[in-house]
Amino acid sequence: MTLPRTPSFRLDGKRALVTGASSGIGLGATAALAEAGAEVTLVARRLAELEAVRDAVRTTGARAEALALDITDLAATAAAVAAHGPFDLLVNSAGLARHAAALDTTPEDYDAAMSLNLRAAYFLTREVARGLIAAGKPGSLINVSSQMGHVGGPDRAVYCANKHALEGMTKAMALEWAAHGIRVNTLCPTFIRTPLGEQTLAIPERRAWILSKIKLGRVGEIEDLMGPVIFLASDASAMVTGTHLIVDGGWTAE
């Protein structure tokens, strides 16, 4: 009798593009992909911080490059992806939050969040897919969404709006590109201890609310997302597309 074998979680020979790679979830994704054998191109706006991460990755023996880029500049992003691609893997982790009560939301904050979290994500994902299709290669594209792409929350009408839209965008793109072997999924974290997350966790009443919703009783850590990233990027998830992987400690289970 021949037993089935678990598909590989290794990413040797794969080229990955990670946005928001200088800190937080993007940094964790970079470390995870590099550890699994991928060559990682790190993208963020600040070159010095990117180079520090790149150098740290290289000390492990992995391959990494730093690319300073503002992905809200659609023309520059398209040119960069065309010049440096094709990329087998994408982890689109760049994002921002400007939380406010819906009655207090300014058009400027709305536009800033939508521009990065949705508009830039849409066109970046499209350009990576375009490169793969032109090269005749399959791929795995991961958009970092949120549990807030599936529920609501106080002071988060704009954030929930762009993350819910990101979920729909991902499903539609997955359908369009499945024939090319390109998988598109979202990773949906709960509150993670990152520089962005700490803005909310530092408010005692918000922290209490968060911990009351996370059934496992703790805030997420960057390491909690590294395994899920590798799963979605690797052949271990070869039949997974057009869906979401929620890492929320049970928040959305009720």
Report pLDDT digits (tens) over 76-98: 999 999 999 999 999 999 999 88
What residues does 144 pair with on adjacent strands?
A: 187
Which band of pLDDT confidence, cut at 50, 70 and 90, is reported for residue 129?
very high
What residues does 192 pair with on adjacent strands?
A: 220
The domain ranges of the chain are: 15-253
66 token code pair: 């730093």
**Tokens 């997955």 sit at which residue?**
174
CB atoms closer than 10 angstroms to residue 56: 15
Check residue 144 and give its pLDDT: 98
Cβ distance 117 to 143 under 8 Å?
no
**Tokens 């919703």 sit at which residue?**
213
The amino acid that residue 150 corresponds to is H
Q: What is the rounded average pLDDT for all residues in the chain?
A: 96
CA 2 to chain centre: 37
Instruction: Please list the active-site residues.
Output: 159
Which band of pLDDT confidence, cut at 50, 70 and 90, is reported for residue 208?
very high
Residue of 163, 210, 155 lying closest to 187 (CA atoms): 163
Cβ distance 196 to 204 under 8 Å?
no
CB atoms closer than 10 angstroms to residue 223: 12
Q: In the CATH scheme, what is the homologous superfamily, with its name and number, of domain 15-253?
A: NAD(P)-binding Rossmann-like Domain (3.40.50.720)
Which band of pLDDT confidence, cut at 50, 70 and 90, is reported for residue 181?
very high
What residues does 186 pair with on adjacent strands?
A: 143, 244
Whole-number Å distance between alpha carbons of 234 and 37: 11
Count CA atoms within 13 Å of residue 99 on its CB side. Answer: 13
Whole-number Å distance between alpha carbons of 43 and 212: 35
pLDDT of 196 strictly over 80: no
